[in-house]
Every structure is written in C-alpha cells, then in structure tokens.
Structure 1
Amino acid sequence: MFANLINESSQKQLTVKVGFSWTEMFFGFWTPVFRSDFKWAAILVLAEILFGSFTWGGGAFLVTLVFAFFYNRLYVKDMVNQGYKPADKTSADILKSYGYI
C-alpha cells in the first residue's frame, strides 16, 4: 500500500510505501541510500558489519530481515518530522490505520 506526502513549504511530493519493506529485505542498506536517507543507511551498515562479522555474514541477513518490518515506518516518521504531511484524505487514512501518524 502506498501513501502520498507533500511538503507544503517546498511543494515537493513523495510516494511512500506503507507496511513491510521488501526492498529493505532484499537490498539491505541500499534501500535508504536510494531514498537519500543517509542516517538509516549508516545505522544499517554499522549493524550489518557488527552482526555479520560475528556470524560469517548470517547476522547481516538477520539485521535486514528485522529492519524490513520497521524501516518504512521509520522513514515516514522522519519525513513527517521534516515537514511532510499527507497529501490527501486517503493517504492520511492509510497512515493512521498503520499507526504511522
């Protein structure tokens, strides 16, 4: 499911995914890099290195699997803190039903 966000001061619009992040599960830290979310990209790289180094890489997969359940929520909350708001009533209802706002 997707929702539309708009920043009223810059008029920039975003379409964000709501729910489980399949891209995070398959691509790991590259998902926040492509979304220009460098804070979470750095956190994921550090977590994957930390957990992967003790488990010959298996821990890195575990980190991406766990973050896949939470990353879209974290990303939307960061965008809301940066001034983005739901662009329409449908997007607001979707975000409220998932507990994002």
Structure 2
Amino acid sequence: MYANLRNEKNNSYMTVKVGFSWTEMFFGFWTPVFRSDFKWAAVLVLAEILFGSFTWGGGAFLVTVIFAFFYNRLYVRDMIAQGYQPADDASLNILRSYRYI
C-alpha cells in the first residue's frame, strides 16, 4: 500500500510505501542509500557488520529481515519530521491505519 506525502515548504510530493519493506529485505542497506536516508543506511551497515562478523554473515541477513518490518515506518516518520504531511484524506487514513501517525 502506498501513501502520498506533500511538503508545503518546497512544494514537493513523495509517494511512500507503507507496511513491510520487501526492498529492504532483499537489498539491505542499499534501500536507505537509494532513498537518500543516510542515517538509517549507516545504522544498517553498522548492525550488519556487527552481527554478521560473529555469525559468518547469517546475522547480517537476520538484521535485514528484522529491519524490513520497521524500515518503512521509520522512513515515513522521518519524512513527517522534515515537514511532509499526508497529501490527501486517503493517505491520511492509510498512515493512521498502519499507526505511522
């Protein structure tokens, strides 16, 4: 499911994915890099290195699977903190139903 966000300060629109992040599960830290979300990319790289080094890489995969459940929520909340708001009533209802806001 997708929601539309709008930033009134710079008049920009963004469509964000809501729910489980399949791209995060398959691509790991590259998902936040492509979304220019470097804070969470750094967190993921550090977590994958930390947990992957002790488990011969299995921990890094586990980090990406667990993080896939939470990443879209974190990303949308960061966008809202930067001034984005739901662009329409349907997007507002979607974000409320998933408890993003």
Instruction: Give 3-state SS (helix, strand or coil) of 2:70's partner.
Output: helix
- Distance apart, 1:49 and its partner CA: 0.2
2-structure distance, mates of 1:63, 1:7 = 32
Q: Where does the alignment leave 5 or more consecutive residues of structure 1 unmatched? A: none
1:72 is matched with 72
1:53 is matched with 53
2:93 is matched with 93
Moved over 6 A (4+): none
2:21 is matched with 21
Alignment identity in percent?
Answer: 79
What's the CA shift string for 1:10-30, capped at 9, x where partnerless?
A: 011110000000000000000
Please, what TM-score do these two structures have when normalized by structure 2? 0.99
Q: Where does the alignment leave 5 or more consecutive residues of structure 2 unmatched? A: none
Aligned length: 101
What's the CA shift string for 1:6-57, capped at 9, x where partnerless?
A: 0001011110000000000000000000000000000000000000000000
What's the CA shift string for 1:72-98, capped at 9, x where partnerless?
A: 000000000000000000000000000
